Structure 1
């Protein structure tokens, strides 16, 4: 199955959603290339950058589940397909 490389930016404003978010990310662990979390204590938020390599449907499902959590926002950007320029 063809996969895509994507970066999912996640902003957590409700710390109570963190446990569920981590559970979701764990269940998609086979697709995760890397993850970087940054606590921004001055603003009371956490930022996560998640790199994934997965089928389009899996990325969409993951982003959808994250976006449904209270106080969590996410946005996905995709790398160009292999062979594409610009």
Structure 2
């Protein structure tokens, strides 16, 4: 199946969701190229970015599941390049 490269950015404002979010990222770990997490203690939020190479449906499913978590915002930017296999 054709894959896309994307960057997903998340703002976590509810620390109660961190464990669930980490579980989701672990579930999709086979597709994740890299991850960066920044705790912003001055505002009591966490900023997380992941680079992912997966079928577009898989990326959209992950974004939807993350977006449904309370206190979590997510945005995804896709590369125009297509190719590879998952």
On whether the aligned pair clears a TM of 0.5, the verdict is yes
Q: How large is the RMSD of aligned CA atoms in angstroms?
A: 0.6
With a CA cutoff of 8 Å and minimum separation of 6, indicate the structure with the bigger relative contact order: 2
Matched residue SS, 2:18: helix
**Which residue in the other structure is 1:76 paired with?**
76
Note the 1:1-86 alignment, pairs <5 A.
1-82=1-82
TM-score scaled by structure 1?
0.94
Q: Distance in 2 between matches of 1:81 and 1:7?
A: 13
Q: Distance in 2 between matches of 1:49 and 1:26?
A: 14
Shift of 1:32: 0.2
- Structure that is richer in strand per residue: 2
Moved over 3 A (4+): none
Shift of 1:53: 0.0
Q: Which runs of 5+ in 1 are unaligned?
A: none
